[in-house]
Structure 1
Amino acid sequence: MGKKLAIGLVAVVLLGIAGYFGVRAVGERSARAEVERAFEEIRRRGATARFAEASVDPAARAIVLTGIEVGAADAGATVRIGRLTATGAQPPRDNYAEAEALDLEGVEITLTGSAAFGGTLVYAIPKVMIDRYRGPVVPVAAPAGEAGPFGAARFALRQFAATSAAKITIPAMTLRHQPAAAGAVPIEATYEGIAAEQVAAGKVRSLLIDKLAFSGPDEVPARDGLGGAAPAGGARQAGELSGIVAARIDTAPFLAVLAGAAPGAAPDDYQAIYGKVVTGPYKVRHHDGSTAGADSLLLEHVGIKPSAIALDRLLELDALSRKGPDLSVAELGELVEETRRIIDGLAFRTFSMTGLTAASADEKLRIAAVRLDGFAAGVLDTFELEGLDGTDADKRAVKAGQLVVRRLDLKALADLARDADAPTPVGLLGLFKVVSGIEASAIEVPYDGENGSAPGQALRIGALTLGWGSVLGELPTTVRFEMKDVSGPISAADGEPFVYLANAGITSATMSTALNIAYDPASGDLQIGPLGARLEKAFSVSLDTSIGNVPKEAFADAAAAFGALGDITARPLKLKVENLGLVELMLQQLAEAAGVTPDEIRNDLAAQVDEIAAVLAQVNPDVVAVADAVKGFLAAPRTLTIQATPKPDTPLLPLFLADAPFGALSAFSLSATAGP
């Protein structure tokens, strides 16, 4: 109990709870006696408490105390105040005291043991100024039997909830946490220009901090060849954050987390802890010389579910995570489940950062903006990155105009983590639930080609869209994939068709692809297409078709999809090929290799088409018309269109299981045209 009283006085000092010193006398002797009685009450409850001098000014209704020192019986917490001045104090009423102003000078708070997370934590505050405070005369009583490493924090939050002040000003404050482990790097922080306004009932209307400077252990590993790296185990990082403004702060949810939910308690709703947080520039420098920073940060409408982020759960999660690779299968499952619950307990409307930078001796990176919108129940509506520009370790450009991720489900991602070491094909279907879409534009990344055939080159993507939706069970009913203007170096080693382009002296190529799939539950048709690809200076190909009689149950899982194949029927198919220069390159290069003319190669190919058509025409006479169109395309290679129309209610599965390779031809009516 002594430690709690000392921590309670910490809250008294910092938050304006000066009820111990209500002015009820007019002389210094009686004032000292009054203060002695208050300090005796603290000592009676198990703590140590003393002061040097007490004086009073009845006209100003002011009292001054010097040399204050209060400590827990076990020396786990100590508060020292050089001078405390209360002006305009009112006599206590209903166990509460009020004052127009409360000034504290030379404040030092020392915590050790569990109250300081192990080790020693020291706060040094040269001056605190509090306007129009109201607070309890004695510390707010804690529930019977409350203990544990966060008992003091719970006690301080209860004191804070019972306190009000118009404004609290702290010009400067420093803290230093020295871990108990031998040789551990201490954590140090310095705050400048702290001002809190309208403090009441555990809430703060606004909080301003001009600057926060910090230093502590650095987890970034040292890099060989970089000067100034700190010794192993003693690596430090340092940084600062300025222009911090927070609005509509509520500490009640934090107290609910530390207090813990009662066994069997019903899940609660999200409770707001911040209305808005805005900061100016942030920067940090690691021990190896690398740096990181941002121009600004914005966080809006942050809330938590106290029952989901219970103290016991946090402690258990911390204990499991510290085991690392030593986790058993059962412990890994428990870790994933606890992570899911905590993720479910966090929510915010917007989190964004602008002007992000990172730099080391070898790499540089700048991102114009990162924005996360709509996070609740473990699901993020949108992640958006804009204006990435940097270099890799070889000083090659890495760029991205925009990257967007739609509906990222972190709880589904945690489920996939269960079998991350040995994922199954069926388990990978869970990826459809992790995200619903990805978009990117103006991407540039280093690309060395096949087996290093194009060193120092770049791969560029004009635009990429990948998305799916309307998931029925494990499988989506709509899929869209589109990639435009993908360009990069090519060589003969890339194989066909790139070998013909490379042999013609073309060193780079640009390609676009697309795939669209959409299911109509009413008709049972699954539309496939347009599906296509376009290689500039080579060719363009597109396919448009569908399959019918697809039951909704086919999307439940992989087994159901396979089981439905026997009922699925074929639908009309249209294939279109457009020559963009590849046919001429192939004819020319084949002719040169054979020592003949391109027309001779063209005639040989036409003869081969006739031979194949003569065989296939025995299965389907329509093949003759298709062969004529193919020969017309060879003669004037522009566009070739082939259409296949299945006979009514043609089952799809037997077409793939036919014994003869071309047995499926009998199930379709064929037509083809060659034209411009």
Structure 2
Amino acid sequence: MGKKLAIGLVAVVLLGVAGYFGVRFFGDRTARAEVERAFEEIRRRGGVAQFAEASVDPAARSIVLTGVALGGADATVKIARLTATGAQPPRDNYAEAETLDLEGVEITLSGPAAFGGTLVYAIPKVMIDRYRGPVVPLAAPAGEAGPFGAARFALRQFAATSAAKVTIPSLTLRQQPAKAGAVPVELAYEGIAAEQIAAGKVRSLLVDKLRFSGPDEVPVEGSPQDAAPTGGARQTGELSGIVAARLDTAPFLAVLTGTAPGKEPDDYQAIYGKVVTGPYRVKHHDGSTAGADSLLLEHVGIKPSAIALDRLLELDALTRKGPDLSVAELSALVEETRRIIDGLAFRTFSMTGLSATSKGETVRIAAVRLDGFAAGVLDAFELEGLDGTDADKRPVKAAQFVVRRLDLKALADLAREADAPTPMAALGLFKVVSGIEAAGVEVPYEGDNAAAGQPLRIGALTLGWGSVLGEIPTTLRFEMKDVSGPISAADGEPFVYLANAGITRATMSTALNIAYDPASRDLQVGPLGARLEKAFAVTLDAGIGNVPKEAFGDAASAFGALGEVTARPLTLKVENLGLAELMFQQLAEAAGVSPDEIRADLSAQVDEIAAVLAQVNPDVVDVAAAVKSFLATPRTLTLSATPRADTPLLPLFLNDAPFGALSAFSLSATAGP
């Protein structure tokens, strides 16, 4: 945005300067006197204005000025030659011309207008079609010479100027920071063309190419790279094919002045309708590179009341202090950042074909997209086609990664507690995002065994929550499909049985769903499940009742509500996918017996346990029969528990009798296919 604003500022100055002439009579004898009169008006208002020669061609209705020099406290403009053809006599202090050509233009800004340093624009040639602008500069209000006074003045001039087209074949910019020895910023534009300029708006702006160079990133103080020499380190880059549509400078003027004519300062005001670019490439001083094939930015707006000039200056001063901020300054930094974030909005920002290289490693991303940003909240962040390597050159991939509803203001609140976190800070994460999704992920397995470095893959992952009543969400969904990775006997049960059978990788899927119904005050948990391929699958459906809405206020309220909640029906389903056979076979081999003997021994143990528990709940007898049937032919076992009455849960957990809770439920079980 800053670079495009720089282009706009140059256009503002040029179009404003072009109006600094006014000749009422076309004749050599009067030309110089009339131009001098206009320039004298500029000097009377406190500016610098002079020219070398003025001539007129009455037949062509052309005016030529040479050696033009204009300036103020922190800005100067020099024009070697200014030619206007098809000029009209000024009317209402406005001058018009069919064409206006400027040659040898140099604009120099210093002081606050150049961020404390010096900013120089060099423009060999400018061509303007159907120009109309003020004969002399518009009156500047009191205090215009303060910070960014030149920019405010230029934006006002631009708003009073119109042109059918402005063409600038080339333009260079050099910013020299005030700090001695600092690396300057240099930009070179090629093929600038702007069309339909009026009332501070530009219908379209095209730039064929932008080349830039400037200071490279300086290592963080105290980091291992801090000792490396960084003086003079530069980065260079290039951006091609810039196309911007529906530009409006009025919001920028509102930021610098605090108001915008005809608009509420608390509303978002559009500054870009659409910006599209071609390839972008940057190279750092250490040889690393980064780039993208294209960029897209749509419907960008700002809220002038949030992005106020004094706020920007204060934020800049705080960030320059680095890590030496006091607690009060850190709080102020977070607050100012929150307000500025609130002042930005856009509909879409996307990049395609991203790549980065460093020390022989390359990371590629097919696309990155940000959708719907306003009031500090981003509707969605999406990354597609990540393909790269880690520090050990092992592959890292992700087909898709999505973050839903990212609240940057809530994130800033968490940052405020970074040095003194509270238990509530963890719950604050629920307000930062509303969900995360991933698919086609592959990362190296981190372990200290022979499997280290092998790929760990995630087919799909979904984690989301919503309907936050207080600090805790009332809905939660977690699902992870086809997570596969290396296994060994050292991983313990149940993986030891798979590994002993010669299986070196396992694939697992899990799911959890939680939903609260405020009307019924029921909290449903399920389906909650896990599936380990070639082993087993288990699914649980359960819930609790009489849950007050206040339980979702904060952590303390949630614990306080435990005394009120009651039990609801529970169903547990276990499916054998091959683990039972492996266990029976391996246990039998270890004991030196047959698998049938292992089954018989387990069935006998079930009978012993059932005989004890049946004294508490007679339903255990039927449950034991189903379990024994499952052991004999391991397929599917379904267990159900239904409360006999409206049973509070907390007393059941606090019961001193180990199996006392069994009497509160009606139990059933089935074994089948």
**TM-score category, normalised to shorter length:** over 0.9
More deviation in 324-333 or 498-507?
A: 324-333
What is the count of residue pairs matched by the alignment? 658
Change (3 A) 1:438 1:659: same
Match of 2:185 in 1: 187
Contact conserved, 1:364 with 1:392, CA < 8 A, in 2? no
RMSD over aligned Cα, in angstroms?
2.2
| 1:524 corresponds to 2:540 | no
- Residues 13 and 82 of structure 1: CA distance in aligned 2, closer, same or farther (over 3 Å): farther
How far residue 588 of structure 1 moved from its aligned partner, in angstroms, is 2.2
Q: Deviations over 1:592-612 (max 9, x none)?
A: 333333333323222222222
Match of 1:382 among 380, 393, 401: 380
CA deviations 1:176-202 (Å, max 9, x no partner) are 111121221110000011111111110
1:658 partnered with 2:649: no
Alpha-carbon deviations, 1:71-117, whole Å to 9, x = none? 43x5x432211111011112221111111111000111122222211
Aligned to 2:66: 66
1:577: which partner in 2? 574
Deviation, structure 1 residue 121: 1.0
List structure 1 segments (4+ residues) > 4 angstroms apart after TM superposition: 8-13
- The Cα of 1:513 is off from its aligned counterpart by 0.3
Question: In structure 2, which of residues 435, 438, 453 is the aligned counterpart of residue 437 of structure 1?
Answer: 435
**Matching of residues 22-37 of structure 1 within 5 Å:** 22-37=22-37
Q: TM-score, length-normalised on structure 1?
A: 0.93
* Secondary structure of the structure 2 residue equivalent to 1:467: strand
1:613 is displaced (CA, Å) by 2.1
Q: Distance in 2 between matches of 1:452 and 1:99?
A: 80
Equivalent position to 1:547, from 544, 548, 565: 544
What is residue 93 of structure 2 aligned with on the other side? Answer: 95
The answer for unaligned runs of 5 or more in structure 1 is 1-7, 223-228
- Which of the numbers 412, 424, 430 marks the counterpart of 1:426? 424
Q: Deviations over 1:432-460 (max 9, x none)?
A: 111111221111112133x3441221111
CA 1:452–1:259 in 2, change beyond 3 Å: closer, same or farther?
farther
d(CA) in 2 for partners of 1:662 and 1:219? 65
Q: Report the Cα offset of residue 32 of structure 1.
A: 1.8
Q: Map of 1:174-253 to 2, 5 A cutoff?
A: 174-219=172-217, 221=219, 231-253=229-251
1:9 and 1:154 map into 2 onto residues whose CA distance is 10
CA 1:594 to 1:236, structure 2 compared with 1: closer, same or farther past 3 Å?
Answer: same
Alignment map for 1:76-475 (pairs within 5 Å): 76-219=74-217, 221=219, 231-260=229-258, 268-449=266-447, 451-475=448-472
Any conservation in 2 of the 1:352–1:370 contact (CA below 8 Å)? Answer: yes
Among 633, 636, 640, the alignment partner of 1:639 is 636
Deviation for aligned residue 1:154: 0.7
Q: Tell whether the 8 Å contact from 1:11 to 1:159 is kept in structure 2 after alignment.
A: no
Work out the CA distance in 1 between the residues paired with 2:388 and 2:439: 16
Change (3 A) 1:662 1:95: same
State the partner residue of 1:226: none
**Partner amino acid for 1:638?**
R
Shift of 1:50: 2.7
In structure 2, runs of 5+ residues without a counterpart are 1-7, 221-226
Which secondary structure does the structure 1 equivalent of 2:242 belong to?
strand
Q: Determine the C-alpha separation between the residues in 1 that align with 2:591 and 2:419.
A: 53
Alpha-carbon distance change, 196 to 9 in structure 1, aligned in 2, over 3 angstroms: closer
Q: Could you say which residue in structure 2 is the equivalent of 1:481? A: 478
CA pair 267-25 structure 1, distance change in 2 beyond 3 A: closer
Segment drifting more, 331-340 vs 198-207 = 331-340
Q: Aligned to 1:618, what secondary structure does the other structure show? A: coil
Contact 1:313–1:338 (Cα < 8 Å) also in 2: yes
Cα deviation digits, residues 508-533 of structure 1 (max 9, x gap): 10000001111122211111111000
Cα shift at 1:70: 2.6
Letter in 1 for 2:491: D
| Contact in 1 for aligned 2:174/2:184 (Cα 8 Å) | yes
CA distance in 2 between counterparts of 1:426 and 1:280 reads 46
What is the CA-CA distance between 1:231 and the residue it aligns to?
A: 4.4
CA contact (8 A) 1:309 1:342 kept: yes
Answer whether contact 1:248 1:276 (CA < 8 A) is retained.
Answer: yes
Q: Specify which of 532, 541, 545 is matched with residue 535 of structure 1.
A: 532
The one-letter amino acid of 1:275's match is G
**Matched residue, 1:3:** none
The 2-side partners of 1:349 and 1:102 are apart by 37
Q: Residue 225 of structure 1 aligns with which residue?
A: none
What SS class does the counterpart of residue 325 from structure 1 fall into? Answer: coil
User: 2: distance between equivalents of 1:126 and 1:40?
Assistant: 27
Match of 2:606, SS state, is helix
SS at 2:647 equivalent: coil
Contact 1:220–1:286 (Cα < 8 Å) also in 2: no
Identity level (%): 85
Distance 1:481 1:40 in 2: 74
CA contact (8 A) 2:16 2:158 kept: no
Partner of 2:223: none
**Which residue of structure 2 aligns with residue 42 of structure 1?**
42
CA deviations 1:288-334 (Å, max 9, x no partner) are 11111111111111111100111111111222222332222222222
SS in 2 for 1:629: helix
Contact 1:16 / 1:130 at 8 angstroms: preserved in 2? no
The CA deviation at 1:165 is: 0.7
Residue 16 (structure 1) shift: 5.5
Match of 1:506, SS state, is: coil
Distance 1:496 1:309, change over 3 A: same
Contact 1:23 1:62 in 2 (8 A): no
- The alpha-carbon distance between structure 1 residues 324 and 453, as it changes in their structure 2 partners (threshold 3 A), is farther
